[in-house]
């Protein structure tokens, strides 16, 4: 068990900037040894110096957009002997699959994709069904639909590397639910600020107090500019540790989801359904994979003790506490989060026995890919 607690302070390490670890932290640190040179963060060029490739795929019956960065997949060599060796190397090469949160999209991971590409790590981010450019969710329960989609993505990506699934918020929930399924070809899972274990009054209120949702369903003459103005003020405060550091392009993505009063009501109603489903979302005793739990001290949607509770319920998990991060650390500190994910992915793959790796990857996933 590795527990790493990073308290907010004025030190470079607490701010997510690479530095020399304190001796007392060294044995349990989740930070990789000096990744600054590999990631290019400081003194790196602008984000556009890294290629982020866009494609459109279909998984589990849903069409979606895929953002990919890092080394391109290598063709399998000819010959059974060479293919076997190549498959073993590929299985031990980390491939991060990134899942976003509710009302978000794969674009939230662009800063992390850039950092991973500079570090030479392959990674993909996908739009979850009902979000971004993915096809809409169907009627009925939401989480089972996302389970099928996530399983299909994991099965597809496992042919290209050792899949480490990382998710933020709702994506963190989907990562945990995937970890509960032993048939999925996963090497490890990272859950970042996953809801459903200890949520803020704001999240609980969405499901348990219907008055706000009822108000937004009424045909009230609320001007669009007013709805947008409120969203522009609220969104940065909910997602970032410090709203003053919010990037305009990321805030705009969320604001566009609330163009009018009716749309706001529809989003709130869907969020209420999700919160209700979270009551029975987890069977944590089924998780045997390496698990990294990331909890954020300045999260206004998921209480900081949520991660500690999850860590206690999955004793073999590793805990990373960052008091200076908000609900979306991929926006607050992409470099610091990339370091943690990169190091965790490497350690998770190193723990996977060769025989177990081959058997897990050869297990069929009937119906997963649509």
Strand order in the sheet with 122-126: 3-6, 318-322, 291-296, 188-192, 162-168, 94-99, 122-126, 62-69, 53-59
- 162-168 and 188-192 strand pairing: parallel
Which residues on neighbouring strands pair with residue 125, listed in sequence order? Answer: 67, 98
The answer to whether 74 and 135 are in contact (CB under 8 A) is no
The one-digit pLDDT tens for each residue of the chain (370 residues) are 334 433 333 333 333 333 333 333 333 334 443 333 333 333 334 455 789 999 999 999 999 999 999 998 766 555 555 455 555 666 678 999 999 999 899 999 999 999 999 999 999 999 999 999 999 999 999 999 999 999 999 999 999 999 999 999 999 999 999 999 999 999 999 999 999 998 876 676 655 555 444 444 545 555 555 556 666 677 778 888 888 888 888 888 777 776 665 667 777 788 888 988 999 999 999 999 999 999 999 999 999 899 999 999 999 999 999 999 999 999 999 999 999 999 999 999 988 665 444 444 433 333 333 4
pLDDT reported for residue 248? 84
The CA-based diameter of the chain, rounded to the nearest angstrom, is 70
DSSP 246-290: --HHHHHHHHTT-SSHHHHHHHHHHHHHHHHHGGG---GGG--S-
pLDDT reported for residue 76? 57
DSSP run (H or E) holding 203: helix 201-208
pLDDT reported for residue 325? 97
Structure tokens at 105: 């999209």
Whole-angstrom CA distances from 246 to 46, 205, 215, 297, 298 are: 18, 25, 29, 17, 14
Specify the 3-state DSSP secondary structure of 101.
coil
Beta carbons within 10 angstroms of residue 353's beta carbon: 9
Instruction: Give the whole-angstrom CA distance, residue 152 versus residue 369.
Output: 4
Structure tokens at 101: 């949160």
Instruction: Give the whole-angstrom CA distance, residue 364 versus residue 368.
Output: 9
* Region for 61 from its dihedrals, namely left if φ exceeds 0, alpha if ψ lies in -120 to 50, beta otherwise: left
Beta carbons within 10 angstroms of residue 288's beta carbon: 11
DSSP run (H or E) holding 205: helix 201-208
pLDDT reported for residue 148? 98
Per-residue exposure over 220-238, b if at least 16 CB sit within 10 Å of its own CB, e if not: eebeeeebeeebbeebbeb
Instruction: Give the whole-angstrom CA distance, residue 171 versus residue 31.
Output: 22
From the list 223, 238, 228, 297, the residue with the least C-alpha distance to 271 is 238
């Amino acid at each position: 068990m590795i527990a790493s607690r990073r308290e907010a302070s004025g030190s470079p390490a607490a701010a997510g900037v690479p530095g020399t670890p304190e001796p007392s932290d060294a044995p349990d640190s989740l930070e990789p040894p000096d990744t600054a040179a590999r990631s290019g963060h400081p003194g790196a060029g602008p984000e556009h110096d890294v290629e982020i490739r866009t494609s459109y795929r279909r998984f589990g019956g849903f069409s979606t957009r895929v953002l990919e960065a890092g080394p391109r997949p290598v063709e399998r060599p000819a010959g059974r002997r060479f293919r076997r060796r190549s498959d073993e190397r590929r299985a031990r090469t980390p491939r991060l699959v990134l899942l976003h949160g509710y009302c978000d999209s794969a674009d939230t991971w662009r800063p992390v994709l850039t950092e991973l590409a500079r570090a030479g790590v392959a990674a993909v981010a996908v739009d979850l069904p009902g979000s971004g450019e993915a096809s809409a969710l169907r009627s009925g329960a939401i989480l089972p639909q996302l389970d099928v989609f996530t399983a299909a993505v994991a099965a597809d990506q496992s042919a290209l590397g050792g899949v480490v699934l990382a998710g933020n918020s709702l994506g963190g929930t989907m990562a945990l639910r995937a970890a509960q399924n032993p048939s999925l070809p996963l090497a490890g899972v990272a859950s970042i600020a996953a809801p459903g274990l200890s949520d803020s009054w704001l999240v609980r209120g969405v499901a348990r107090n219907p008055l706000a949702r009822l108000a937004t369903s009424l045909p009230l003459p609320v001007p669009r500019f007013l709805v947008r103005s409120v969203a522009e003020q609220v969104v940065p405060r909910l997602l970032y540790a410090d709203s003053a550091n919010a990037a305009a392009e990321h805030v705009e993505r969320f604001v566009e989801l609330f163009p009018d009063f009716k749309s706001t009501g529809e989003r709130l109603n869907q969020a209420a359904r999700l919160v209700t489903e979270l009551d029975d979302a987890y069977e944590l005793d089924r998780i045997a994979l390496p698990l990294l739990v990331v909890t954020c001290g300045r999260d206004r949607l998921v209480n900081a003790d949520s991660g500690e509770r999850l860590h206690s319920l999955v004793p073999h998990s590793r805990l990373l506490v960052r008091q200076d991060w908000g609900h979306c650390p991929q926006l607050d500190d992409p470099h610091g989060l990339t370091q943690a994910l990169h190091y965790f992915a490497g350690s998770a793959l190193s723990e996977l026995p060769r025989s177990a790796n081959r058997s897990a990857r050869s297990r069929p996933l009937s119906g997963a890919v649509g």
